[in-house]
Amino acid sequence: MTFYFAWVNTPEIFDAGRHARMDESILHFEVDHQEGAVPLLRLTVALAIHTPQRQGQRGILWQQDEAGHAHLLFDGILVMTPAEKREDFLLLVLEAGRADKPSQLERLLSTKKQQEFEPLLVAEEDQEAVEEVLESLSAVPHWDRLTGDVILTELGQHRETVDLGPTFFAESLQMHQGGRPLAAVRFSLTAEWVQRYDGVVDLGPLIQQAGTRGYLSSLTPDDLQKRWWRKVYPLLRTGYEILESRLTVVVPPETGGLEVYPLKSAAFTVRGRVQTLARSWLQPVLTLQWHYRQKRKETVHIEVPCGKTGDVLELSVRLQDICGAQPIASWKPHQVYPIKTLVRHEDTVYRAIKVHVSDTTFQTEFWEVQGTWPTALEDPSRWSFFETERGRAVIHHVMRRAEAYGVMAARELEVRCHLPFAAGRLLRGNQQVRLTDPRLPGGSVTGDVLHYRLVAEGDTGERWAEVTLGVTMHLMRAWKLKGLQSLKKAEGILDPRAVTAADLVTSLQLTGGAETQNQRLERRDFPSLMAAHRALDKIPTRLRIELKDLKSAEELSHEWAAEIL
């Protein structure tokens, strides 16, 4: 059995005939591979008189067995030469794979991130950090010591099994406790944001209902018009703006002899002479824009079952800003919009294609769609994040992460043993190994490869392998998310899109209408016409509207419990 080591050019493919060289005089070597780490070759070589330039070079270690078969053991790049050289030897360290290992992993993670990464669970400044991304994906990287390729394996994912049976040195068998099993993982998952909505409401129809047959009617219309709300009136700190407001005297439809819309007041007398006053019919228009802003905090309590017994791991996770996107102003009526202006209307971002003054309603002919508003919340008017499709996806992602924690903790038995070198050649990081021995639980175990070594001692000629397995003694409990159960009644405006004028108007009172004024005049005799007008001045037509208070509470919180089957 012979070992060969050759320095080769990067593009070269292993060839036993061409690479049957001893470019270094090997005294000792050790191939070392831990789960999630890059495989290493520690090569102790005799110190040559003329030391070649090795830094950054690619080296191949291979073995020819007694039958003449070639077995590649390691292919990698020199990453370290000793700062201090011994008298007669030096240590070389090579890493498996090519020189572009970091970019290999980054490319792989970039592809994986597009499919499965959840940025809301990782701080923005850490979203490119390899460790954070791997934890979020619940994945472990595996580099192949022969090809240099890297793959990602999710924790708990099925791995290729190598059945070694009793092929190990019996006296080397060791067993000890590994992880502490978990009965469950409890997550408290919290999202915080400001619920936003800008709506337009027409109060005209509601006012008409308070009037007479669809109109306001008065014997003192000038006073009512004078007191009517105007656009210039500021509704400071109320959450409301007046967009359109007018009160117009109209000529109602003619109804013949029915006199549904009489144009005269009730008859009265002035010193015995019958008199009447003009009765006016008025059409009200009052359109408001309302702005709702409410800070919300939503928490989901999740308990993912792992095993029948064990500890309970409790974790709290606060999501990153779910409204984290470029600030885009909401569209407003009666505003001047230059070309290229970006606005948000409902859940869509638009770009102005013409300079224009906006009308009361959104006019699509002046805008082109740029896409949906780029936030995790999708619709900023939502009162709940975890009831959205994205929110449910985050919950499932957290539950998968909890399951990964359970898988890691379930490796409660570690088994270590030495193997014949030929058996060790079969090992890779991304494998499970089955061993059989009467001393093992149940007579055999199958465990994930946590660590293995291939060792050759030059001075003694000894060759062996060593493997450490993480054995799961209890299977993870199966689970399924049934849904979310609310722990308290939700508060505030839950669906702003469905809000109507009736929802925003808490009180609407019309006093001193024409019918009431008629009662003051009817069958009375006044000393003068002026006296009749003064009598009406005491009961003028007034309209009082009270609107819903849009001032938000400091914070509205809501809690859910995830129902697990």
Over residues 269-279, the pLDDT tens digits come to: 999 999 999 99
Taking each helix axis as running N to C, give the angle between helix 389-409 and helix 130-137, from 0 to 180 degrees, rounded to the nearest 10: 90
Q: Which among 95, 115, 142 is the end of a domain?
A: 95
pLDDT band (50, 70, 90) for residue 211: very high
Please say whether the beta carbons of 109 and 133 come within 8 A. Answer: yes
**Is 272 within the bounds of a domain?**
yes
Please state, rounded to an integer, the average pLDDT across all residues of the chain. Answer: 88
**Is 387 within the bounds of a domain?**
no
**In this predicted structure, what is the pLDDT of residue 347?**
72
**Is 489 within the bounds of a domain?**
no
* pTM confidence score: 0.74
Q: Is the pLDDT of residue 84 over 60?
A: no
Q: Is the pLDDT of residue 52 over 70?
A: no
| Range among 51-55, 235-239, 324-328, 517-521 rated most confident | 517-521
**Is 79 within the bounds of a domain?**
yes
**In this predicted structure, what is the pLDDT of residue 81?**
67
For 63-80, how does the pLDDT look when each residue is reduced to its tens digit (9 = 90+)?
A: 999 888 999 999 999 987
3-class SS of residue 260? coil
Provide the domain count of the chain.
2
Q: Tell me the percentage of the chain whose pLDDT exceeds 90.
A: 57
pLDDT band (50, 70, 90) for residue 115: low
3-state secondary structure 195-255: EEEEEEEECHHHHHHHCECCEEEECCHHHHHHHCCCCCCCCCCCCEEEEEEEEEEECCCCC
3-state secondary structure 267-314: CEEECCEEECCECEEEEEEEEEEEEEEEEEEEEEEEEEECCCCCEEEE
Q: Which among 42, 68, 95 is the end of a domain?
A: 95
**In this predicted structure, what is the pLDDT of residue 228?**
95
**In this predicted structure, what is the pLDDT of residue 172?**
97
Q: Which among 95, 115, 131 is the end of a domain?
A: 95
Of residues 387 and 307, more confidence is placed in 387
**Is 513 within the bounds of a domain?**
yes
Mean pLDDT along residues 82-99: 76
**Is 65 within the bounds of a domain?**
yes
Of residues 485 and 50, more confidence is placed in 485
For 346-386, how does the pLDDT look when each residue is reduced to its tens digit (9 = 90+)?
A: 778 899 999 999 998 899 999 999 876 666 777 888 999 99
In this structure, how many other beta carbons lie within 10 angstroms of the beta carbon of residue 265?
Answer: 20
Mean pLDDT along residues 543-561: 92
**In this predicted structure, what is the pLDDT of residue 505?**
97
**Is 442 within the bounds of a domain?**
no
pLDDT band (50, 70, 90) for residue 54: low
In this structure, how many other beta carbons lie within 10 angstroms of the beta carbon of residue 247?
Answer: 20
**In this predicted structure, what is the pLDDT of residue 51?**
58
**In this predicted structure, what is the pLDDT of residue 469?**
96
Q: Is the pLDDT of residue 532 over 90?
A: yes
**In this predicted structure, what is the pLDDT of residue 278?**
96
Mean pLDDT along residues 13-30: 91
Q: Tell me the percentage of the chain whose pLDDT exceeds 70.
A: 94
Q: Is the pLDDT of residue 452 over 80?
A: yes
pLDDT band (50, 70, 90) for residue 561: very high
**In this predicted structure, what is the pLDDT of residue 385?**
93
Cα–Cα nearest to 351, from 341, 361, 359: 341
pLDDT band (50, 70, 90) for residue 113: low
Q: What does the alpha-carbon distance between residue 332 and residue 344 come to, in Å, rounded to a whole number?
A: 9
Order the strands of the 525-526 sheet from edge to edge.
273-275, 268-270, 525-526
**Is 473 within the bounds of a domain?**
no
Cα–Cα nearest to 303, from 476, 181, 185, 478: 185
Q: What does the alpha-carbon distance between residue 204 and residue 282 come to, in Å, rounded to a whole number?
A: 11
The residue segments making up the domain with residue 72 are: 1-95
